[in-house]
Structure 1
């Protein structure tokens, strides 16, 4: 195996691949990147056996071959070489020799035959979507995913396809985000799959060009997404997502309309003096006025008053300030609509007129 490649051409795909590779591996070869040179193409593969990224790079001239080399060491070498440098890679025995101008490196390699195969079932469903559209949907939901929850289906994101409708749902049990959008083409099928948390975060990072068109293939076990010269694959969470429809089937107080920016700023200021562990703040709602207050074990107190548009009964309810802040920050409209359940079991944070994005947060006792 032998090839010459420009530093910039190699650096970006290497960075994308290395992020999925765990620093501590049970199998030493999983810390390596698989390099395959074949028919004028360099194919790089990295995996942790749950997620896999394959990058394809055109190179000429090249001598075919396959090998695996330590991924992070190769990335660091490329990163620290001068911009525009030509990198020459050559396999010699069980070493990969890397040279560029006056720099010489020799990396210990492991044979490609030992590299584990990423098991994928037949991917019978597929749809097309714009990268910018998909990234917006991910951005508005992924922050609600649980992290290391024993209810492992919450450590991921629900992707629901219903013909031409796309719905993404994420929840950690205390809050829930729902984002709905239309696909450019009807799919003719209905499916619900759960993407794993790490896979969602990696995928969101890869969608850096909003103009790119994606092809998404999936089965009940796997998902594969084609992003330009990258192929992203992940194993799906084998579970059923809980039914959240009951939260809509209840009585609600009248909507409370408030200027989004003023509300964010007031929440941020009041939250400074909230309990560091629970981040609790209290909303006192009355006609045309909202009072936001908090206190902490050190006897510090904070209170802010805001003008609101509300016609209804006065009410008092408490929330985690961070949950409210993240919900409001993801609204596109200038006015936030807060709709509180009449039994004070939940609060919807919506756009003023649209219902494509809905955030639901459970109250807390202070």
Structure 2
């Protein structure tokens, strides 16, 4: 294999596929990046067997030559060293040449590195996915849906299924749900696809986080293909595979209360800042608990007590309070996470009593909601 390639394209592709390379792999060859050069393109692949990422660099784009492949071929190079070397090369062009015994020479300007590579034939094959029943989402919407749900997945391995986000496709709509059993995040959106198709799968939260980091902010479509045990996200120059989690996701629909006893509408930013201030003292406590009390004339009191340190009380004027008076305690962190995920200047919070889960929604949209379980305080 012998080629010259533009450094910035190579660096970007290496950084993308590095997101799938794990330093703690039981399969030694997976600590490397696979590189395949053909006359048309150069492809790089990284994998940790849960996530696999393939990034392709076209030989030519819009009349500009990006890579010139003088001799097609393939090699697996140690990922960590290759990534560091490429990033620090002195010139804009990089020459890569594989010699005997998979020894690979990397030249740029006056710098020359020699790396011991491995046989690309030994590298595990990527999943073969039949691209049927593809649906599409604009990149920016996909990233938003991930951001608004993935933070609520469980970080505990006691119930592995909860470390993923449940993706349901039904009636031409995608519904994403994440819960760690103390809180829940839900976001839905209309999608372009055959309305008769349906899916119900669980994608690891880690995979979605990595995908979100790689995707550019654009409104170009990402193609999504779901199979029995894999999901593929496909953009112009990128294939992102993730395995799916086994098992059935719990039915969360019954967690979401249908009615409420107290409804509060608040300015999202003011409310967030008040919770943030109250949590300054609560953070020292074991559980970061903040208390909300409804008072007369739409006043909402936010307070927190930390016996060793002191207490904080703040009143904010809500847009409206309807229904029964209420005192409720909850985790400041969960509340702030939920508020960050919601869009809109005004948030409606619906309570069904001091010990029941409560729901936050943007005032003028039913495409998303956040649910939080209160904390019992005596």
TM-score range, shorter chain: over 0.9
Q: How far off is 1:249 after superposition?
A: 4.7
The alpha-carbon distance between structure 1 residues 15 and 345, as it changes in their structure 2 partners (threshold 3 A), is same
Tell whether 2:307 aligns with 1:300: no
The alpha-carbon distance between structure 1 residues 197 and 330, as it changes in their structure 2 partners (threshold 3 A), is closer
The alpha-carbon distance between structure 1 residues 125 and 184, as it changes in their structure 2 partners (threshold 3 A), is closer
Tell whether 2:350 aligns with 1:339: yes
CA distance in structure 2 between the aligned counterparts of 1:270 and 1:28, rounded to whole angstroms: 49
Q: Which runs of 5+ in 2 are unaligned?
A: 60-66
CA distance in structure 2 between the aligned counterparts of 1:207 and 1:73, rounded to whole angstroms: 24
The alpha-carbon distance between structure 1 residues 40 and 124, as it changes in their structure 2 partners (threshold 3 A), is closer
**8 A contact 2:39–2:69 mirrored in 1:** no
Q: TM-score, normalised by structure 2?
A: 0.92
Match of 1:226 in 2: 234
CA distance in structure 2 between the aligned counterparts of 1:252 and 1:315, rounded to whole angstroms: 12
Which stretch has the larger CA shift, 59-68 or 195-204? 59-68
Q: Which runs of 5+ in 1 are unaligned?
A: none
Tell whether 2:291 aligns with 1:282: yes
Match of 1:315 in 2: 326
**8 A contact 2:272–2:339 mirrored in 1:** yes
| Residue of structure 1 aligned with 2:209, choices 194, 201, 213 | 201
Secondary structure in 2 aligned to 1:125? coil
Q: TM-score, normalised by structure 1?
A: 0.95
Tell whether 2:108 aligns with 1:97: no
CA distance in structure 2 between the aligned counterparts of 1:316 and 1:55, rounded to whole angstroms: 53
Q: How far off is 1:95 after superposition?
A: 0.9
**8 A contact 2:265–2:349 mirrored in 1:** yes
Tell whether 2:263 aligns with 1:244: no
Tell whether 2:89 aligns with 1:60: no
CA distance in structure 2 between the aligned counterparts of 1:270 and 1:204, rounded to whole angstroms: 32
| Residue of structure 2 aligned with 1:86, choices 83, 86, 93 | 93
Match of 1:77 in 2: 85
Written as runs of structure 1 = structure 2, the 5 A alignment for 1:1-366 is 1-57=1-57, 58=59, 59-82=67-90, 85-93=92-100, 94-120=102-128, 122=130, 124-276=132-284, 277-287=286-296, 288-308=298-318, 309-342=320-353, 344-366=355-377
Secondary structure in 2 aligned to 1:61? strand
Q: How far off is 1:330 after superposition?
A: 2.2
What number of residue pairs does the alignment pair up? 365
CA distance in structure 2 between the aligned counterparts of 1:120 and 1:318, rounded to whole angstroms: 50
